[in-house]
């Protein structure tokens, strides 16, 4: 991180309303780097835990942030917030569950709800 680089204060809120990993980050920090830190610092007492960076989705201002973007690219700015702290939401969606859902769709044959009878 270069000296004098703009920084922003972030906290991350998980599914049960708990805030984790409150800190100050440079605007050049990538979303993938944030996700790596979150996975490493994830509370062990939670029932849902991410196993990899791919299991974590960061949401800011109603948008899911992509791994290859930086905070500056995602337009994460303080704006007019009185406290200066921005809260990002974290959604944990294990890739195994996504794969099973996709496989289930492929395995189910399409059902023909119409039947014809020739007399």
List, for residues 4-24, the tens digit of each pLDDT value: 777 888 899 988 888 888 888
- pTM of the predicted protein model: 0.69
Radius of gyration of the chain (CA): 20
Domain count for the chain: 1
Is 2 part of a structural domain of the chain?
no
Facing residues of 7 across strands?
26
The CA distance from 17 to 106, in Å, is 35
Residue 84: CATH number of its domain: 3.10.20.90
Neighbours of 21 (CB within 10 A): 17
Is 41 part of a structural domain of the chain?
yes
Is 107 part of a structural domain of the chain?
no
Is 49 part of a structural domain of the chain?
yes
- Identify which of 63, 85, 83 has the alpha carbon closest to the alpha carbon of residue 75: 63
Is 32 part of a structural domain of the chain?
yes
Q: Residue 77 sits in which domain range?
A: 7-96
State phi, psi for 84 to the nearest 5 degrees: 80, 5
Is 119 part of a structural domain of the chain?
no
Instruction: State pLDDT tens for residues 90-110.
Output: 999 876 555 555 555 566 665
């Amino acid at each position: 991180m270069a000296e004098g680089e703009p920084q922003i204060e972030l906290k991350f809120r998980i599914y049960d309303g708990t805030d984790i990993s409150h800190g100050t980050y440079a605007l050049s920090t990538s979303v993938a780097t944030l996700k790596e830190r979150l996975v490493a610092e994830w509370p062990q007492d939670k029932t849902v835990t991410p196993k990899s960076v791919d299991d974590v989705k960061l949401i800011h201002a109603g948008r899911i942030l992509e791994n290859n973007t930086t905070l500056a690219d995602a337009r994460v700015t303080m704006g007019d917030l009185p406290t200066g702290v921005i809260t990002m939401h974290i959604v944990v969606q294990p890739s195994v569950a996504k794969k099973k859902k996709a496989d289930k769709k492929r395995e189910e044959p399409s059902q023909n709800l119409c039947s014809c009878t020739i007399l």
